[in-house]
Amino acid sequence: MTVDVGVCSTAHVNAEVYAALLSKLPEVNLVGVSGETGARVRKQANSVGTEAMSHRQLMRAADGVVVCSPTARHEELMTLALDHRVAVLCEKPLGTSLQTAKAIRDRWENRGVAAGMAMPIRYSRPMRRLKERYEDGTVGELVAVSGVNRGRMPGGWFVDPDLSGGGAVSDHTDHIVDVVRWITGEEVTEVYAETATRFYDIDVEDVNLLSMTLSNGASFVLDGSWSTPQKNPFWGDASVELVGTTETVSGDCFGHQFDRVRDTGRGRHTESIYWGADPNNALLRDFVAAIRGDSTVETSLDDGVRTAAVIAAAYESVDRGEPVTVTY
Amino acid sequence: MRRIVAVGSGPAVRGHTERYARFDDAVLVGVVGGDPTAEGDDSTAEGGGVEDDGDRDGDGDVERYESVAQALESAAIDGVDVCGPGAAHGDAVDAALDADVPVRCDPPFALDETRLDRLVSRAAASDGWLLTASPHRHSRLYGHLRSAVEAGDIGSVGVARIKRTAPFEPVGWNCSYAGVAAAPTPIDALCSVLAHDADVLEWTFGTVGRVFARAQTDARTDHAHAVLSFRDGGRATVEATWSGACTPEPRLEVEYSGDHGRLDFDEHDASTALRNGGGAKRVDPPEDDCRGRLLRAFVERLGEEPSSVPGVHPEHPSRVAAAVRRSVDEGRPVALAEESL
């Protein structure tokens, strides 16, 4: 039995990726792509052989949607989905503020409709193996965590603070904080943030350096800057190192790469190609299972609130110039 | 011929002894401290992680002294070479400056700000001087990176990252950095390691104005990270991990990202020119690796007029290390005062 799934908004860079993957899943009927900018929506819908439609039309047609709008519209679109009892997989972060994220979570609580965060890193096989090693005691007592999640500056609404809620802190804190929470079972208790706008002439920060502590006392440093050059052979990175009393273990989500150098075309062109299993595919399959009631989405809306709390603490730390206790 | 006394023990002194033995214009006349023939890994090649190939020129062929003061009383000495961070050999640095003898040490020359200020004053009043640059400044690799930055290859720095890991074994604290073993606590040792990175970062990107740091210590694993803010607005992270149980690779990752591009290398880039079995072997002769060139610079500076050499050079990276130490203790960011620049 197939389920009807749609992509709600084409604003996020991942909308195209999700639409392409959903169109190929045999258990999915990709019923449509919705959005405000007609030409862009039609182009994306055509590219995957589905229909362009309004958000309301999509909600009436779908069993579940992947919300890929600017962060500031998450609350509105998720409310629309809930009104139509349509399951949601929401791009991160959940809201532009901790207050909004909590409001979304609370609204969905006990409503019997599947909802979760689009956090593919939890489905990354290196991260799953890392979690297994942590849980089987390979690492011993956790002493420190080091993570990176850099990327190219995405532009567009991502650099409009009214639509995104912020820059690199808002965009590139969630994934690694979420996966470290998931692997270790520890919460971030304190954040010190150093931010700056150094790479681009934009209205939000592109430097995102966080020094944190976990609830077990371990330190946790994260570089989530938009520091990857636009001409870098790969878009960015996502890796975690767990320093323990017994062993140090690290996972690199996109470590499986090969290099491609082409002399054809205009000028020389070098790319690094990821060849490992696609975590987005596993994420979407899990979402489909959740729509059917066979599973739950790995990253819940409450998890989304918890990373939103870390982001809020990071911005507060910047304002105060000191470490800030995370309030959940 | 410049006459040098070395201070330190084990592999740290042995590495310096080997290099002085290859200089035509300098001779190591004595050692203050432990046994220079003690076993241990002293891989101090550029980038780290390169195994010693067993060349031990000059081991044990020098006088042994109990203190720098005794050495200075017993022989004519042109310079004192502290084989490790000055912070771990404070008496030796004091004694040399008191006797108006130039002294070299690795950074930091102190981790306590009061002592740091006192040493700066003492060096200013002495006919001697204190050279405390990291060997990294004499690394061809770091030199090329700095030249590239100066040439505008990456534009203005946004984030610089240095991450390094090293094992305890076989000699406990410090296998990779000469003399760090003498640090009184694991956190002091980590700060001493971070001081090298602070030095090369300031050398490349300018002065650091603020630091925030955390450190965790355990019987078998220690870790510290620091977030640095340069006065011109760029940021940096420095991480150092020591593990008694394993030595994860790569042991070194360096990355400078700016608004026009990125420079990066890791341990493999720094040490894969010659391999034997599973290990990298050094290619440069000891007198021409980064530490050899550092000692070369020290010997050549001994011939300069005292007035042409600043009392302490460079001073600020050690202040950064001391600020890191204080930030770890106090759990808050520490701003470096303008007057310390």
Distance from C-alpha of B336 to C-alpha of B116, rounded to nearest angstrom: 13
Ordered by where they begin, the domains of chain B are 2-135+289-314 (3.40.50.720), 141-267+318-340 (3.30.360.10)
Which stretch of A56-60, A81-85, A263-267 has the lowest confidence by average pLDDT?
A: A263-267
Angle between helices B316-330 and B186-205 (to 10 degrees): 130
Maximum alpha-carbon separation in chain B? 57
- Note whether residue A224 is domain-resident: yes
Distance from C-alpha of B214 to C-alpha of B216, rounded to nearest angstrom: 7
How is residue A54 written in tokens? Answer: 């309004």
A139: closest chain B residue by CA: B245
Helix (H) or strand (E) holding A301: helix A301-320
Interface touch B333/A248, C-beta < 8 Å: no
* Most B CBs within 10 Å, among A149, A152, A192, to test the B interface: A192
Measured in angstroms, the CA of B238 and the nearest CA of chain A are apart by 10
Q: Are residues A198 and A276 in the same domain?
A: yes
CATH of the domain at A233: 3.30.360.10
Number of structural domains in chain A: 2
Instruction: Provide the Cα torsion A308, A313, A316, A320; round to 10°.
Output: -170
Give the count of beta carbons closer than 10 Å to the beta carbon of residue B277. 5
- Note whether residue A288 is domain-resident: no
Q: Are residues A176 and A257 in the same domain?
A: yes
Q: Are residues A146 and A172 in the same domain?
A: yes
Interface touch A198/B233, C-beta < 8 Å: yes
Average pLDDT over residues A34-54: 93
Q: Are residues A140 and A260 in the same domain?
A: yes
Helix (H) or strand (E) holding A292: helix A279-292
Closest CA relative to residue A23, chosen from A43, A40, A6: A6
Distance from C-alpha of B120 to C-alpha of A312, rounded to nearest angstrom: 43
- Note whether residue A289 is domain-resident: no
Interface touch B257/A213, C-beta < 8 Å: no
| Residue that terminates a domain, selected from A72, A90, A120 | A120
- Note whether residue A219 is domain-resident: yes
Count of all residues that appear for chain B in the document:
341
Measured in angstroms, the CA of A277 and the nearest CA of chain B are apart by 24
**What does the pLDDT read at residue B30?**
95
Q: How many pairs of residues across A and B have Cβ atoms under 8 Å apart?
A: 114
Distance from C-alpha of B289 to C-alpha of B298, rounded to nearest angstrom: 14
pLDDT tens across A234-273, in order? 999 999 999 998 888 999 999 999 999 988 877 658 899 9
Q: Are residues A41 and A58 in the same domain?
A: yes
Q: Quick one: DSSP state of residue A151?
A: B
Q: Are residues A51 and A174 in the same domain?
A: no
- Residue linked to tokens 């971030």: A188
A223: closest chain B residue by CA: B237
Distance from C-alpha of B80 to C-alpha of B65, rounded to nearest angstrom: 13
* Most A CBs within 10 Å, among B235, B251, B266, to test the A interface: B235
Closest CA relative to residue B161, chosen from A150, A310, A176: A150
Average pLDDT over residues A283-291: 97
| Residue that terminates a domain, selected from A83, A101, A120 | A120
CATH of the domain at A47: 3.40.50.720
Give the count of beta carbons closer than 10 Å to the beta carbon of residue B58. 17
Give phi and psi for B59, each to the nearest 5: -60, 130
Helix (H) or strand (E) holding A170: helix A168-171
Distance from C-alpha of B22 to C-alpha of A290, rounded to nearest angstrom: 71
Q: Quick one: DSSP state of residue A236?
A: B
> Using only C-alpha atoms, what is the Rg of chain B?
19
Distance from C-alpha of B186 to C-alpha of B183, rounded to nearest angstrom: 7
Fill in the amino acid letter for A56.
R
Closest CA relative to residue A101, chosen from A112, A110, A90: A90
Mean pLDDT is highest, among A33-37, A71-75, B71-75, B305-309, for A71-75
Interface touch B246/A221, C-beta < 8 Å: no
Average pLDDT over residues A108-130: 97
Q: Quick one: DSSP state of residue A13?
A: T
Q: Are residues A216 and A131 in the same domain?
A: yes
The contacts of residue B297 (CB under 8 Å, 6+ apart) are: B131, B133, B138
Q: Are residues A83 and A140 in the same domain?
A: no
**What does the pLDDT read at residue A266?**
72
CB-count burial class (<10 Å; 0-12, 13-18, 19+) for A27: middle
| Residue that terminates a domain, selected from A72, A93, A120 | A120
Interface touch B245/A247, C-beta < 8 Å: yes
**What does the pLDDT read at residue B309?**
77
Measured in angstroms, the CA of A266 and the nearest CA of chain B are apart by 21
Distance from C-alpha of B335 to C-alpha of B243, rounded to nearest angstrom: 30
Interface touch B221/A223, C-beta < 8 Å: no
Average pLDDT over residues A50-71: 97
How is residue A18 written in tokens? Answer: 């999700």
Q: Which residues of B touch A247 (CB under 8 A)?
A: 243, 245-246
Give me the percent of chain B exceeding a pLDDT of 70.
82
Measured in angstroms, the CA of A231 and the nearest CA of chain B are apart by 8
Q: Which residues of B touch A219 (CB under 8 A)?
A: 214-216, 223, 225
β-pairing, B279-280 vs B312-313, is: unpaired
Closest CA relative to residue A188, chosen from A319, A93, A92, A325: A325
Please check whether residue B246 is in contact with residue A249, taking contact to mean a CB–CB distance below 8 angstroms. no
Measured in angstroms, the CA of B183 and the nearest CA of chain A are apart by 21
Instruction: Compare A267 and A36 and report the one with higher pLDDT.
Output: A36
Distance from C-alpha of B285 to C-alpha of A194, rounded to nearest angstrom: 42
Whether the predicted pLDDT of A109 surpasses 90: yes
Angle between helices A98-108 and A74-83 (to 10 degrees): 10
CB nearest B235 (choices: A143, A194, A228): A194
Closest CA relative to residue B160, chosen from A81, A147, A223: A223
Q: Are residues A12 and A116 in the same domain?
A: yes
How is residue B154 written in tokens? Answer: 């990456």
CB nearest B239 (choices: A141, A207, A221): A221
* Residues of chain B below pLDDT 70: 34-61, 166-183, 244-250, 278, 338-341
B interface with A, Cβ–Cβ < 8 A, is 156-159, 161, 163, 165, 212-216, 218-223, 225, 227, 229, 233-235, 237, 239, 241, 243, 245-246, 248, 257-262, 331-333
Helix (H) or strand (E) holding B335: strand B334-335
Which stretch of A34-43, A232-241, A297-306, B18-27 has the lowest confidence by average pLDDT?
A: A34-43
Please check whether residue B178 is in contact with residue B8, taking contact to mean a CB–CB distance below 8 angstroms. yes
Q: Are residues A138 and A109 in the same domain?
A: no
Interface touch A247/B246, C-beta < 8 Å: yes
Average pLDDT over residues A275-287: 97
- Note whether residue A302 is domain-resident: no
| Domain that residue A82 falls in | 3-120
Give phi and psi for A79, each to the nearest 5: -65, -40
- Note whether residue A292 is domain-resident: no
Tell me: cis bond preceding B250? Omega within 30 of 0 counts: yes
Q: Which residues of B touch A207 (CB under 8 A)?
A: 158-159, 235
Q: Are residues A10 and A138 in the same domain?
A: no
Q: Are residues A130 and A112 in the same domain?
A: no
Task: DSSP for A31-71, please give it.
Answer: EEEE-S-HHHHHHHHHHTT--EE-HHHHHHH-SEEEE-S-G
Distance from C-alpha of B227 to C-alpha of B242, rounded to nearest angstrom: 19
pLDDT tens across A165-222, in order? 999 999 999 999 999 999 999 999 999 999 999 999 999 999 999 999 999 999 999 9
Interface touch A211/B212, C-beta < 8 Å: yes
Give phi and psi for A129, each to the nearest 5: -65, -35
Interface touch A243/B243, C-beta < 8 Å: yes
Task: DSSP for B251-287, please give it.
Answer: SEEEEEEETTEEEEEEHHHHH-SSEETTEEB--S-GG
Q: Is A183 helix (H, G, I), strand (E, B) or coil?
A: helix
